[in-house]
Amino acid sequence: MQDRLENFKRTVRANRSYRRFFEDVRVSDETLTDLLELARTTASGQNNQVTRFALVSEPDRCQDLFKLLRWAGALKDWDGPEAGERPSAYIVLVSPKKVNAAWDEGIIAQTILLGASEIGLGGCMLGSIDRLEICNTLKLDPETQWPKLVIALGKPKEEVVIEDVRQDQNLKYYRDEKQVHHVPKIVLEDLIIR
Ligand SMILES: Cc1cc2nc3c(=O)[nH]c(=O)nc-3n(C[C@H](O)[C@H](O)[C@H](O)COP(=O)(O)O)c2cc1C
């Protein structure tokens, strides 16, 4: 039992936000639909299942979408991955503009990324996105298919490590001189209210 939990812990820890990829390793629509099949059965508030998915894997469309995403706000001297290191595919989560489905979207996105990590892929959730332009580019109806979250996917080309910190320490992620990405996470002791 403990072994299985340890294995799952490794899976969860390996599932980091990756922002640089081997862009030439393409992700097929079939892989994207396999990942969606995982997400399809996750929990949903009132089981309303309002989220729909736009799949983007063709290189030209990836390039168009890439321009509408903002990467790693905390890395001030980095504008996002350069050509050759960009994601190979995206899943755009859409739902009616007036509906708040953020909890569903988080569960869906985490499930997709966990699945991706199981097959040697990785990615990043992006909420800092140009929603109206995404509608125009992907020909989505802004009222009923408003982009809420984008999941970028690809074969990760960077090392990301977790750093245990206390809750009063700096929580900003950073890159070291070897370009290793460090993600501070608060230790359990400071998270549990006693
Ligand atoms: C709802 C949500 C929105 C996010 N939006 C962005 C984004 O627009 N751009 C980006 O580079 N990262 C984005 N991220 C990734 C976070 O920066 C990342 O989760 C955080 O730095 C912790 O790293 P970790 O995912 O490896 O734990 C987002 C994450 C979440 C959960």
pLDDT-derived band at 105, boundaries 50, 70, 90: very high
Mean pLDDT rounded to a whole number for the chain: 97
Cα separations in angstroms, 82 against 55, 133, 155, 173: 22, 21, 15, 20
Distance from Cα 9 to the centre of ligand 1, integer Å? 20
CATH number at residue 177: 2.20.180.10
Same-domain pairing of 148 and 170: no
* Ligand 1 center–CA 1 separation, angstroms: 31
Q: Are residues 45 and 60 in the same domain?
A: yes
**Rounded-to-integer distance, Cα 172 and Cα 114, Å:** 23
pLDDT tens-digit series, residues 132-151: 999 999 999 999 999 999 99
Q: In terms of Cα–Cα distance, which of 98, 102, 126 is closest to 44? A: 102
Q: Is 125 in the pocket of ligand 1 (CB under 6 A)?
A: yes
pLDDT tens digits, 1-57: 789 999 999 999 999 999 999 999 999 999 999 999 999 999 999 999 999 999 999
Does 171 lie in the same domain as 136? no
Pair type for strands 89-95 and 146-154? antiparallel
**Do 94 and 183 share a domain, yes or no?**
no
- The domain total for the chain is 2
pTM over 0.85: yes
Cβ of 16 less than 6 Å from ligand 1: yes
On whether the CB atoms of residues 93 and 109 are closer than 8 A, the answer is yes
- Counting from 1 in the atom list of ligand 1, the atom nearest the Cα of 16 is 26
pLDDT of 61 reads 98
- 183 and 146 in a single domain? The answer is no
Residues 133 and 143 both lie in one domain: yes
